[in-house]
Structure 1
Amino acid sequence: MATDVDLPKRQITPVPVPVLPVSVPQKRPLEDDYAPPVSSPLNPNPDIKPNKSQSHDDVPAMAREKPARSKKETLKKRESKAGAGADSSRATPDPKIKELPPNESSPLRYKLAPPRPSDFETARGPVFTPHHEVPAPDGSTIQFYETSEHVFNKKSFHYLHCIADPAFPSSFYYRQTEPEPYGAHISFEDAATHMYMDQLGRHITTDKGFRTARANVAIRQGRWYWECKITRGTIKSNADGTIESHGHVRMGFARREASLDAPVGFDAYSYGIRDVQGQKVHMSRPKDFFPPGEEIREGDVIGLEIQLPSEHLHRKVVQGQYNPAVDLLDEEDPIMEAANIVRDRIPIRFKQHIYLEKIDYHTTKELEDLMNPSPSGPSGSIGSRPPDKPNPNHQVPALRTLPKSCIRIYKNGVLMGTPFTDLLAFLPPASKPQAQVGAREGMDDGMAGYYPAVSVFRGGAAEVNFGPEFWYPPPGYLDSDEDGDVDMVDADTVTVAVPSAPPSSSKGTLDNIRPVAERYDEQIVEDVVADIVDEVDFWMRDGARVIDRTGGRDAKAETTAGIAPGREEIKELVQDD
């Protein structure tokens, strides 16, 4: 007979319980996954990791921070994206030919072949081929030319003429220059294709749809004035008031990001006036501006005045340091300080020209959403935009506006009103250069600003007048005794100016209206100063001596061992005319 035996209970095998981490391990940054064997020479602190909780106003941190991506990409693919939209044959900077790692305040430098003898010759303008003639309203004839043998600013790149100068050996001889015609005019390079101009860059037309051309000067602060005369447009053909059209013209101001294949006022980067009903246009939204019956027709002269605050106040706005309670007082005695100009660029050849190629500013998502809001967006917003409208203290730098900024419009000398106020800020980080391998991000290259711009449509033609002698001078432009002489501005009241009046003159504040022609002279001085600063910086980084970067092929420079050979030749740019 079986007896009950107490069997030992089955013990449960202990299983170690995993200790969960306090926080989920984060994925390594994209830079670590696909970092090149040599750290970027543009990063002054390669061991410091960026903090992802940076705000919009932390400009240095934002310049190093990379946007989060859900999909990893190879280094080769990311490098190809840096030149997105460019021709595959353009002069792409090669990281292997960079020289000594520059610091954060030094421009990018390359090893290049010695300049050709032709590189020391004066820069040449485009080749002009007669295209057609049109009658002007005064009975004269205007000859239009097709321009060729020059590069166009497009596909996210901006080109400036340069010349080799033996006085600049440390930057390898090349400095910026200007070809004829000298002075403020419509830029032959900064225009859409299929546009026809005269040889002075004053008249412009097209036989295509809307095309836009910008002037060769950037307005960054102060009050400036220019005129646009309609030489081919709409006219009243009969006594009954019927309208006959010879084409259309729009005029206004456009930033570097504005499209040249669309009329001025098409996007958030430009403000325009259309000839039809004298309407104002911004972000493709025409609104009535001129009084009824005051359309813009052939022979009319439209005066355009822009007013911008000082760059000192502008930088406070884009850096999130603007305080309306106190900062507006600075405009009475603005603090003039030099901007931190950074120009990462490389010489390239195009046919018989040599240019400095630089990355241009590109459109930002915030302003694209402002123009075309998404139908679905976060709660409390219009589309994908934040709920608050653009203002000087907006949380997004691209949506910050400039206090005391406006555009005024005159017709045949009569003030028609102020169609635009509180213009959008343009200094970085409100504007962003296109990403480029090896180049610094979010820097001011001195070319950001509002440019005078003209758009023409199917035979429409216009003539620009940047002064100093105007058809209809604006109020306050002539001197106080009204003898017809133009008031000039003191050099010590603007960032860079040519002295033309005694320091004791009451004129000279940023509130004085000036012709755009004077801005051209200022811009030349700024370019010269920036070239000298770059040359001195290179020279000091090389130990206050000139180093031969050609592998012993340049007898004028001191040969230094350990420097890799330079390129055999500067790359050629291929671009369709």
Structure 2
Amino acid sequence: MASDVGSPRREQTPSGAATTVPQKRTLEDDHSPAVPSPLNPDNKAAPRVQIQAPEDTQQAAVLNREKRTKKDSFKKREAKAAAGGSDSSRATPDPKQQHKEPSINELLPARYKLAPPKLTDFEPARGPIFTSHHEVQGPEGETIEFFDATEHVFNKRAFHYTHCIADPTFPSMFYYRQTETEPYAAHMAFEDSASHVYFDRQGRHVTTDKGFRMSRANVAVREGRWYWECKVTRGTLREPGSEGDTKAHGHVRVGWARREASLDAPVGFDCYSYGIRDVAGQKVHMSRPKDFFPPGEEIKEGDVIGLEIQLPSEHLHRKIVTGHYNPAVDLADDEPSLEAPNIIRDRIPIRFKQHIYFEKIDYHTTKELEDLFSPAPVASASSNSPEPPNPNHPLPSLRTLPNSYIKIYKNGKDMGTPWTDLFAFLPPASKQSTQSGAHAGREALDDGTVGYYPAVSVFRGGAVEVNFGPDFWFPPPGSGLPQKQQNGVGDEDDVDMLDDGSVPNQEPLRPVSGRYEEQIVEDIVYDIIDEVGFWAQDGGKVIDRFNLTAKDAEKLLATGGGGAQLLPGGRDEIKELVQDD
């Protein structure tokens, strides 16, 4: 794929035979100019005389060469920065370091040459096709029908997909913008789930008949205080077995997960997710289960688990990941900021079984967090006691967020706070997979999808029903969030609260459904910004990149938009994606 946005390319340092490298004048050459100087016209080129350098002079020259400091290559300097040996990764930046202005390639999204859109690309995006798979009985005797969601793409192989649509009001972006499909609400994402995960039509019920499979929601939180809850509809039974053994229809884990968390593993498997386990109510992070609920407590069928998260402002978050955080000044996180996030979305429309998606490079795991997750972490060669994660860690991926936490509720009862100081996720703490071409050197960009996602894992028949609000079965005590009229489980406990329903010294608790609405607004704004940016890049005018004449346009309409031959130098067609089920 060729990009319309030209980016300066670094010429590679010549390597090979020494004869290809320009050499200094040798000792055999005289220092007299070969051509007389205009300031000294009488000077003539002296005959070249071979001069034999004394032995001690030759030895001195060798010693001087040995003492010269060899400059590190660009890749070696990059590696030193990643290992904490560069000023760029220090918690306190060097004031003497000059500010480097970002290049045009770092400020604008990548743009590609594409064939003209088909007429069907202007139609509203369609969701998956639902095929009935099985039915189960819920804890209250209700029938829940699960479907196999097919004919859609999965987020895997280092790529992330969102629906898009052709729009004639976005000609500078080749007519494509982001869009949504039914049910037009916060739900568990059909595309952002492992295979063999089954849903209801609204994406609120989730189950599987395989081993642990994870599903992330279609909404992420990046700052503030948020809440969602889920009900265990198939799990550990309340009645013990014949010999006191615990009987279960399956198992579940619920929690929060970042983009890097594996979908083929339970929540809490790695450094990128935090999960609560139904067995004994244990908390799990980095595959290390630890007791959390009081002894004898478990999560069983019919229980409602509430999950609250608090994250600092993005302004403070960016200070942390860029190494400008000062706890003596910034801990209160009350500094007002009008700074907007710099969202750069490198994406391209692709086809998959008559669907149109934006394909974006996803975020990948980092070596530092993989080493931390390892059961037997290897200590650094330079230190016998590696520095634990903290807001000022030399490595951005190991920096944590002060004033952040995850709190758990069970049937409306506050069970405590299993985690504080969550890992930072804004780039460069998160990095995209390294690619070539237009994406080269752009692995630490924020495309707007990083954050903490509501996540559930189900195991061999385990099933949950998620609720992102705004009405909840068991809103947290004192939150002021509305409660469902009929929760089917119990009534909310009476709590003391202020006149406005809030708790002192806390941000208002918001439902995750409200974050979904914010995401829609952000996508619209970012699409407009990208369109205006490309329009300005084209000189403030709309360029007909297809070179269509009236006859060409008529032919394009007659062929249903498939006239790829009308675009000189462009692609024959938008890429057709093939994925194994």
* TM-score bracket, shorter-length normalisation: 0.7 to 0.9
Q: Cα offset for 1:242?
A: 3.3
Give the whole-Å Cα distance in 2 for the aligned partners of 1:62 and 1:432: 22
Q: Cα offset for 1:475?
A: 2.0
Give runs of aligned pairs for residues 413-452 of structure 1, distance below 5 A: 413-437=412-436, 438-439=438-439, 440-452=442-454
- Secondary structure at 2:113's aligned position in 1? coil
Letter in 2 for 1:259: S
- Secondary structure at 1:104's aligned position in 2? helix
Paired position in structure 2 for 1:575: 579
Q: Does structure 1 conserve the Cα–Cα contact (< 8 Å) formed by 2:472 and 2:483?
A: no
Task: Identify the match of residue 511 of structure 1 among 507, 511, 514.
Answer: 507
Letter in 1 for 2:118: R
Task: Identify the match of residue 361 of structure 2 among 354, 359, 362.
Answer: 359
Paired position in structure 1 for 2:530: 534
Q: Alpha-carbon deviations, 1:341-392, whole Å to 9, x = none?
A: 000111111011011001000000110011116564335756xxx6221111
Letter in 2 for 1:548: D
Letter in 2 for 1:17: Q
- Secondary structure at 1:265's aligned position in 2? coil
Paired position in structure 1 for 2:12: none
- Secondary structure at 2:227's aligned position in 1? strand
- Secondary structure at 2:162's aligned position in 1? strand
Q: Cα offset for 1:29?
A: 5.5
Cα 1:285–1:13 shift into 2, 3 Å: closer
Task: Identify the match of residue 327 of structure 2 among 307, 324, 329.
Answer: 324
Q: Alpha-carbon deviations, 1:141-183, whole Å to 9, x = none?
A: 1000001100000111000100000000001100000011111
Q: Does structure 2 conserve the Cα–Cα contact (< 8 Å) formed by 1:222 and 1:510?
A: no
Name stretches of at least 5 consecutive residues in structure 2 with no aligned partner: 1-51, 77-84, 486-499, 555-566
Task: Identify the match of residue 217 of structure 1 among 216, 219, 222.
Answer: 219
Moved more, 365-374 or 145-154: 365-374
Name stretches of at least 5 consecutive residues in structure 1 with no aligned partner: 1-11, 32-51, 66-100, 486-503, 557-562
Give the whole-Å Cα distance in 2 for the aligned partners of 1:64 and 1:458: 53
Paired position in structure 1 for 2:298: 295
Task: Identify the match of residue 543 of structure 1 among 539, 542, 567.
Answer: 539
Q: Structure 1 length as normaliser, TM-score?
A: 0.78
Q: Cα offset for 1:24?
A: 5.3
Cα 1:505–1:420 shift into 2, 3 Å: closer
Task: Identify the match of residue 239 of structure 2 among 234, 237, 240.
Answer: 237
Paired position in structure 2 for 1:344: 346
Q: Cα offset for 1:474?
A: 1.0
Q: Does structure 2 conserve the Cα–Cα contact (< 8 Å) formed by 1:112 and 1:549?
A: no
Q: Cα offset for 1:27?
A: 7.4
- Secondary structure at 2:222's aligned position in 1? coil
Task: Identify the match of residue 262 of structure 2 among 220, 234, 259.
Answer: 259
Letter in 1 for 2:420: T
Give runs of aligned pairs for residues 33-72 of structure 1, distance below 5 A: 53=86, 55-56=88-89
Cα 1:545–1:264 shift into 2, 3 Å: same
Letter in 2 for 1:394: H
Paired position in structure 1 for 2:455: 453
Give the whole-Å Cα distance in 2 for the aligned partners of 1:13 and 1:157: 63
1:399 paired to 2:444: no
Q: Does structure 2 conserve the Cα–Cα contact (< 8 Å) formed by 1:253 and 1:451?
A: yes
- Secondary structure at 1:234's aligned position in 2? coil
Give the whole-Å Cα distance in 1 for the aligned partners of 2:501 and 2:462: 43
Q: Alpha-carbon deviations, 1:483-530, whole Å to 9, x = none?
A: 999xxxxxxxxxxxxxxxxxx999999711000000000000001000
Q: Does structure 2 conserve the Cα–Cα contact (< 8 Å) formed by 1:478 and 1:484?
A: no
Q: Cα offset for 1:114?
A: 0.5
Q: Does structure 2 conserve the Cα–Cα contact (< 8 Å) formed by 1:63 and 1:441?
A: no
Q: Cα offset for 1:238?
A: 4.2
Letter in 2 for 1:138: E
The RMSD of aligned alpha carbons is 3.1
Give the whole-Å Cα distance in 2 for the aligned partners of 1:472 and 1:318: 36
Give the whole-Å Cα distance in 2 for the aligned partners of 1:190 and 1:220: 18
Paired position in structure 2 for 1:89: none
Give the whole-Å Cα distance in 2 for the aligned partners of 1:507 and 1:377: 44
Q: Alpha-carbon deviations, 1:319-345, whole Å to 9, x = none?
A: 1111111112333x6435310000011
Letter in 1 for 2:162: L
Paired position in structure 2 for 1:560: none
Cα 1:26–1:320 shift into 2, 3 Å: closer
1:282 paired to 2:285: yes
Q: Cα offset for 1:25?
A: 4.6
Paired position in structure 2 for 1:524: 520
May I ask how many residue pairs the two structures share in their alignment? 482
1:176 paired to 2:166: no
Cα 1:565–1:550 shift into 2, 3 Å: farther
Task: Identify the match of residue 162 of structure 2 among 140, 160, 168.
Answer: 160
Paired position in structure 1 for 2:409: 410
Give runs of aligned pairs for residues 481-496 of structure 1, distance below 5 A: none
Paired position in structure 2 for 1:552: 548
- Secondary structure at 2:181's aligned position in 1? coil
Q: Structure 2 length as normaliser, TM-score?
A: 0.77
Q: Does structure 2 conserve the Cα–Cα contact (< 8 Å) formed by 1:64 and 1:441?
A: no
Give the whole-Å Cα distance in 1 for the aligned partners of 2:203 and 2:363: 24
Q: Does structure 1 conserve the Cα–Cα contact (< 8 Å) formed by 2:478 and 2:503?
A: no
Q: Cα offset for 1:105?
A: 1.1
Cα 1:513–1:483 shift into 2, 3 Å: closer
Q: Does structure 2 conserve the Cα–Cα contact (< 8 Å) formed by 1:184 and 1:516?
A: yes
Give the whole-Å Cα distance in 2 for the aligned partners of 1:371 and 1:64: 36
Letter in 2 for 1:517: S
1:269 paired to 2:272: yes
Give the whole-Å Cα distance in 2 for the aligned partners of 1:278 and 1:210: 17
- Secondary structure at 1:292's aligned position in 2? coil
Paired position in structure 2 for 1:497: none
Q: Cα offset for 1:245?
A: 1.2
Q: Does structure 2 conserve the Cα–Cα contact (< 8 Å) formed by 1:102 and 1:108?
A: no
Q: Does structure 2 conserve the Cα–Cα contact (< 8 Å) formed by 1:111 and 1:550?
A: no
Letter in 2 for 1:152: F
Give the whole-Å Cα distance in 2 for the aligned partners of 1:314 and 1:574: 38
Give the whole-Å Cα distance in 2 for the aligned partners of 1:509 and 1:538: 44
- Secondary structure at 1:535's aligned position in 2? helix
Percent identity between matched residues is 65
Cα 1:148–1:360 shift into 2, 3 Å: same
Q: Cα offset for 1:477?
A: 2.6
Give the whole-Å Cα distance in 2 for the aligned partners of 1:417 and 1:296: 15
Cα 1:574–1:335 shift into 2, 3 Å: same
1:246 paired to 2:246: no
Paired position in structure 2 for 1:226: 228
Q: Does structure 2 conserve the Cα–Cα contact (< 8 Å) formed by 1:551 and 1:565?
A: no
Give the whole-Å Cα distance in 1 for the aligned partners of 2:171 and 2:238: 61
- Secondary structure at 2:58's aligned position in 1? coil
Q: Cα offset for 1:104?
A: 2.7
Paired position in structure 2 for 1:477: 479
Give the whole-Å Cα distance in 2 for the aligned partners of 1:483 and 1:535: 42
Q: Does structure 1 conserve the Cα–Cα contact (< 8 Å) formed by 2:473 and 2:483?
A: no
Cα 1:123–1:548 shift into 2, 3 Å: same
Q: Alpha-carbon deviations, 1:383-442, whole Å to 9, x = none?
A: xxx622111111111111101000000000000000000000000010011111121231
Q: Alpha-carbon deviations, 1:95-126, whole Å to 9, x = none?
A: xxxxxx95431110011111000000000000
- Secondary structure at 1:329's aligned position in 2? coil
Give the whole-Å Cα distance in 2 for the aligned partners of 1:200 and 1:193: 18
- Secondary structure at 1:326's aligned position in 2? helix
Cα 1:534–1:510 shift into 2, 3 Å: farther
Paired position in structure 2 for 1:85: none
Give the whole-Å Cα distance in 1 for the aligned partners of 2:459 and 2:547: 53
Task: Identify the match of residue 148 of structure 1 among 147, 150, 168.
Answer: 150
